[in-house]
Amino acid sequence: MAESLGRVALVLHAHLPFVRHPEHPDALEEGWLHEAMAECYIPLLARLERLAEEGVPFRLSFTLTPTLAAMLRDPLLQDRFTRRLELMRELAGREEVRARNQPALHRLARFHGERLAEVDRLYRERYHRDLIAPLARLQEAGHVEVLASAATHGYLPLMDVVPQAVEAQVAVGVQAYQELFGRPPRGFWLPECAFHPGHDRILRRHGVEYTIVDAHGLLFGRPRPVHAVYEPAVTGAGLAVFGRDWESSKQVWSATEGYPGDPVYRDFYRDVGWDLDWEYVRPYLRAGVRGATGFKYHRITGPTPMKELYDPDAGRERARVHAGNFVFNRAKQVEYLAGGMDRPPVVVSPYDAELFGHWWFEGPDFLEDVLRFMAGNPSVHTTTPAQHLDGLDGLALVEPTLSSWGYKGYNEVWLEGSNDWIYRHLHKAAERMVELADRFPHAGGLERRALNQAARELLLAQASDWAFIMKTGTMVEYARRRVVEHLERFLALHQDLVQGAVDPHRLALLEERDNLFPFLDYSVYASRREAAEPTISRSPASA
């Protein structure tokens, strides 16, 4: 590939909280995983593999959180996903019969049925129910770089009260990555792009080379970066830091200016699960509760409830037009930036992966076209943060400031009136976990299993998703229950360990229910400190 004026690093952050309920045959919240697999992960993988097979030169970064990876590899959840696909294909057949006298609606029902059949075929026959293996192959081929992330997506700035809690989230996340891919990660996705001064030292202790922060985290750093967010900086601990580009983010994310709000695109909210007769749709609803089925026949149309029928061909063509516009804008952006820099600028564009296909149905087509168009553009090419670092001979020193990509850019989403009550309990539990790790440095047998499970329950309670859900008001009771249940399990195990009387039956039940991270070693919470890793070099002028 010829040298370009600049580069774009597209980063898709794939994450879901750990939701696994063997005690419920049809848990409502397990639908989050099913929807993301059918509408986002499988379609994205298929398109990336197609590009690779056609020889299109492209680079893309993924973050795969440990909780999501654990669910994708879980046999129970795999079985439930295949059963869900079977049920949805049954609904597709019934929908074709129901709409047989309405040609436009019948075409849409058939479109949904064909799409589900393709997802089913890919999952069973091509991927053999393992979505991590194709991602690993794409990484081995040099098309994709996968970043590590925190164990359970804990919001790290608000865990800094107990430093070992942050250390454990990072250490377990890095180890989970190594277990999956057989190599150490170069990059680490901070949950919610949330950086806290000093956490760079923790990342470096675990061999991480770089991370990504929101724009203001770098722009308000000390000293101010000369080239804003368009080249990485390095902290005093030796961690390279990339800054998020606001312009490319707004074009995709913005509810008012972003591409996904185009009236031609499929409407996310209109669904037969809401529109059709209760007795007809009831067999296809999760837990017998009215909700989405994935059968959405209308386009956005406009701001009113009146919606016109969706046209898949028109939606596909609009995605192609928007992809061309995105690439044109990035080319003009790097042409402008390159005029004032002595090295190629890099535009870092991170997005939630679930936007592409789930929230924005045409998103996977848009992304495929962006990668195709950039491959043929002389001004701008795709890269990954690691690949971009490899081409640099020195980085300017900047100490980023506290920041996140949440509302208002700091901690407000995860610490406010609806969720502030959780933190005193989380901090106390973390302190007790450190005490346990120090008290039992060489535990074995049943005692060791209980210590590992206590660490597991604490990590699950710390997931940032629960505070986020409480703030947004979507599944509040579920989020509250998850925090309380994990803390109660932790406290029960703590009491057993302190009293020297671990209940083997209860422990086995907890190990089966919350079964992620089989490699977990509770001693990650011990209060010892380790020496920092060697630092990344920086230019003498910046020192």
Is residue 80 one of the residues assigned to a domain? no
Tokens 């203001």 belong to residue? 216
Cα–Cα distance measured from residue 443 to residue 526, given in angstroms and rounded to the nearest whole number: 13
Q: At which of 382, 406, 430 does a domain end?
A: 406
Q: Are residues 418 and 460 in the same domain?
A: yes
Structure-token match 């925190």, residue found: 150
Residue 445: count of CB within 10 angstroms of its CB? 8
Residues 399 and 508 in one domain: no
Q: Give residue 536's pLDDT.
A: 41
Last residue of a domain, one of 385, 406, 427: 406
Residue 373 covered by a domain = yes
| Residue 389 forms part of a structural domain | yes
Q: Which of 456, 462, 432, 395 is nearest to 527 (CA)?
A: 432
For residue 81, being part of any structural domain is answered with no
Please say if 192 is a catalytic residue. Answer: yes
| pTM for the model | 0.95
Torsion of CA 65, 70, 73, 74, to 10 degrees: -150
- Residue 163: strand, helix, or coil: helix
Cα(220)–Cα(297) distance, integer angstroms: 46
Tokens encoding 411: 């901690």
Residue 90 lies in a domain: no
Q: What is the dihedral of CA 403, 409, 411, 416, to 10 degrees?
A: 170
Q: Which of 90, 96, 352, 533 is catalytic?
A: 352
d(CA 252, CA 15): 18
Residue 319 lies in a domain: yes
> How far separated are the first and last CA of the chain, in Å rounded?
34
User: Based on the domain organization, do 362 and 510 belong to the same domain?
Assistant: no
Closest CA to 136 of 206, 38, 69: 69
Residue 98 marked in a binding site:
no
Same domain, 401 and 496: no
Residue 114: both structure tokens together: 């064909």
Return the residue matching tokens 């996340």: 173
Does 244 count as an annotated binding residue? Answer: yes
Instruction: Name the 3-class secondary structure at 285.
Output: coil
Q: Residue 310's closest CA among 256, 276, 268?
A: 268
- Which CATH number fits the domain that encloses residue 44? 3.20.110.10
Q: 83: annotated binding-site residue?
A: no
The span from the CA of 241 to the CA of 199, in Å, is 12
> How many domains is the chain partitioned into structurally?
2
Q: What is the pLDDT along the chain (543 residues), one digit of tens a residue?
A: 557 899 999 999 999 999 999 999 999 999 999 999 999 999 999 999 999 999 999 999 999 999 999 999 999 999 999 999 999 999 999 999 999 999 999 999 999 999 999 999 999 999 999 999 999 999 999 999 999 999 999 999 999 999 999 999 999 999 999 999 999 999 999 999 999 999 999 999 999 999 999 999 999 999 999 999 999 999 999 999 999 999 999 999 887 889 999 999 999 999 999 999 999 999 999 988 999 999 999 999 999 999 999 999 999 999 999 999 999 999 999 999 999 999 999 999 999 999 999 999 999 999 999 999 999 999 999 999 999 999 898 899 999 999 999 999 999 999 999 999 999 999 999 999 999 999 999 999 999 999 999 999 999 999 999 999 999 999 999 999 999 999 999 999 999 999 999 999 999 999 999 999 999 999 999 997 443 344 343 333 333
Indicate if 191 and 318 belong to the same structural domain: yes
Based on the fold, state whether residues 234 and 340 are members of the same structural domain: yes
| 434 and 370 in a common domain | no
Is residue 182 helix, strand or coil? coil
465 annotated among ligand-binding-site residues: yes
User: Do 242 and 210 meet the contact criterion of CB atoms below 8 Å apart?
Assistant: yes
Distances from the Cα of 103 to the Cαs of 89, 106, 171, 309, 404, in angstroms?
20, 5, 56, 11, 48
Last residue of a domain, one of 347, 378, 406: 406
Question: Where are any strands of DSSP class E within 448-531?
Answer: none
| 400 & 418 share domain | no
CATH number at residue 517: 1.20.1430.10
CA–CA dist 76, 21 (Å, integer): 9
Range of the domain at 509: 414-525
* DSSP H helices in 235-384: 246-253, 272-275, 278-281, 312-338, 363-375
Whether residue 454 is found in the same domain as residue 507: yes
pLDDT of residue 128: 98
Q: What integer pLDDT is reported at residue 3 of this predicted model?
A: 73
- Residue 435 placed within a domain: yes
Rounded CA-CA distance 72/34 in Å is: 10
Say yes or no: 215 and 254 in one domain: yes
- Whole-angstrom CA distances from 142 to 146, 178, 387, 401 are 11, 18, 10, 33
Q: Are residues 347 and 461 in the same domain?
A: no
If asked whether residues 358 and 445 sit together in one domain, one would say no
Answer yes or no: is 259 within a domain.
yes
